[in-house]
Amino acid sequence: MNQLTHPPTRVGRPFIEPGSKLGFGLALVALFAATLSAPSARAQSKGPKSGGTLVIGTEADPSTLDPLRIGSYAERQYANAIFDTLLEIDASGKVVPHLATGYEVSADGKTYTLKLRQGVKFHDGTAFDAESVVFNLDRVRDPKNACRCLGNVTAVSSVKALDAYTVEIGLNTPYVSFPAILADTPAMIASPTALKANAAGFGNTPVGTGPFKLSSWTKGARFIAEKNREYWKAGRPYADKIEFRGLQNSETREATLLSGALDILMQPTPKFTATAKREKKFAVLEPAGFGTFFLALNVKIPELSDVRVRRALAHATNRDLLLKAVFQNLYKPATTPFGAGFSGLSQVKDYPEFNPAKAKALLADYAKPVTLTLISENTPFTQRVMQAVQQMWQDVGIKVEIKVFDQARLIQSMLSHDFQAALFRWSGRPDPDLNVYGFFHSTVAARAISANYGQYASPEMDKLLDAGRQESDPAKRIVIYDQVSQLLAKDLPYIFLGYVAGPLISTKKVHGIAAIPDSIIRVAEVWKE
């Protein structure tokens, strides 16, 4: 039945998969596992029910749903209704089959061969096949199209259809985190027919293979999609209709949930999340998350180039208090760049703890006065965090000035390395490589514009990052990335504060929301009483 039931010479394995009984090539088994992990933790007693309209409140109505332009959390959530990705991640952060039933990796790690699901159709009736995958992947990797995902697909050197349902992807270098990329926006497969007919307007009338098809979109307000009755996954989606409501203002969004007009609320504020946990009619789901929020330090400025000062800052930062007082305990303290959604990786035991005396001693040793400017976003919430950090650092004798920018300016300052210390967050990606390589590798630091914000460079780190990107044995990768965490705790280009989580609030009538670490609701699986 499936061509991949006999494991090939070397089978691509999802990263961090303890005692891999599920050979990844064994598509059927893995698919079974995926279905097992999908139903909600709550209300296992009652079976799923079909029908009804699911109304989801999000932070913003996207301006487009063209996979080339999808980046934000809300955009990715809307896209989940319309598009399927080639691969998918499950609740444990593992890569599992989706539109592709499985894949093989060549011995040199540079060729991925994907087997595609047969009998799948796009909403416009076009058949899903190897040609459509080639068309989409070529579209996202063409620099002319300036995909927001471009940085993730630069390793791809060729995409070929071997037969109607087999695609071969060639890479420049071995890239073990590539499957995670095939579970993300670059691998959202859009209908080639629709794209060819109207490339410019595609973002307003997206056509995919997903569980719902767009029926009406009032820009800025409501996105309504009807059940895709020919969806490839049996019995899915459960809901007849899905409605996304983009509500910018968080109070408005929360009032809309309270008024009973929403089934699910995304991106609640920490304060509202704390309130909702006490309310009987709401359920709060807290997917673990892949990312962290942190203080990035620019190691190129004189004060911060001295590791004693960076260490002093870490000892001066009372993370537990910060998490409790400002974040209402929504996040857990972080010691690594890898969110709680990763399993198998260890915490750093001796991460610099809150200890003002040690901080003062280190600063006394450094013997010069330290003045810093801390920058971040201009939201009231972020400013409260900044003020808390400012107070903590000033308590050990460091002068701190706070500066706030709008998000775009903040990102610009950080990308162009024009800052001293910055409070920032990164939502993370399902492979550890994607959480560190672009941020800490020295080759990236050298570029004028790069995500190695603080221009940290260390030969030891480079060696680890290169090894992690090419190592295919999950157990060895765990060792490598634990070493990365240790080295980061020693060199401190970042002071990690907390692991980010994206809580979801729903009414108790809603079931089937799987706690996938990226906090994106797999809408096909959700049902209502």
Partner 1 sequence: MRRILRGLPAIIAVLAAVSMISFALVAFLPGDLALLMLGDSATPETVAVARRELGLDRPLYARYLLWLGNALQGDFGNSARSGQPVIDAILERLPVTLELMLLTITLSLLLSIPLGVWTGYRREGMTDRVVLSLSMVFVSMPSFLMGVLLVYFVALQLQWLPATGFIPLSESVVGNLQSMVLPVLALALHDVPVYLRVLRSDIIQTLQQNFILLARAMGLPTAKILMRNALRPASLNLVTTVGLGVGRLLGGALTIEVLFGLPGLGQLLIESIYQKEYLVMQAIVLFVAVGFVLINLLVDVLYVLLDPRLREEHA
**Residue (165 or 244) nearer to partner 1, CB:** 244
**Residue (108 or 138) nearer to partner 1, CB:** 138
**Residue (161 or 404) nearer to partner 1, CB:** 404
Shortest Å distance, C-beta 139 to partner 1: 14
Shortest Å distance, C-beta 259 to partner 1: 4
Q: CA-to-CA distance for 113 and 166, rounded, in angstroms?
A: 7
Per-residue 3-state assignment (H helix, E strand, C coil) for 173-235:
CCCCCHHHHCCCHHHECCCHHHHHHCCCCHHHCCCCCCCEEEEEEECCCEEEEEECCCCCCCC
Shortest Å distance, C-beta 427 to partner 1: 13
For the purposes of burial, counting CB atoms within 10 Å of the CB of 452, is it exposed (0-12), middle (13-18) or buried (19 or more)? buried
Which positions lie near partner 1, rule CB under 8 A?
60-61, 63-64, 66, 69, 71, 143, 146-151, 200-201, 203-204, 216, 218-222, 245-249, 251-252, 255-256, 258-261, 407-409, 411-412, 415-416, 447-449, 451
**Residue (29 or 415) nearer to partner 1, CB:** 415
C-alpha neighbours within 13 Å on the C-beta side of residue 528: 16
**Residue (20 or 218) nearer to partner 1, CB:** 218
**Residue (249 or 305) nearer to partner 1, CB:** 249
Shortest Å distance, C-beta 250 to partner 1: 11
Shortest Å distance, C-beta 72 to partner 1: 9
Whether the CB-CB separation of 99 and 128 falls below 8 Å is answered with yes
List of residues 6+ apart from 10 with CB closer than 8 A:
104, 105, 106, 107, 472
Q: CA-to-CA distance for 291 and 422, rounded, in angstroms?
A: 16
**Residue (148 or 490) nearer to partner 1, CB:** 148
Shortest Å distance, C-beta 151 to partner 1: 5
Q: Count the neighbouring beta carbons within 10 Å of the beta carbon of residue 88.
A: 22
Q: CA-to-CA distance for 126 and 265, rounded, in angstroms?
A: 34
List of residues 6+ apart from 81 with CB closer than 8 A:
210, 211, 212, 225, 242, 244, 523
Q: How far is CA 331 from CA 83, 355, 374, 425, 498, in A?
A: 30, 21, 22, 12, 6
Shortest Å distance, C-beta 244 to partner 1: 12
**Residue (35 or 275) nearer to partner 1, CB:** 275
Shortest Å distance, C-beta 412 to partner 1: 6
Structure tokens at 485: 């965490």
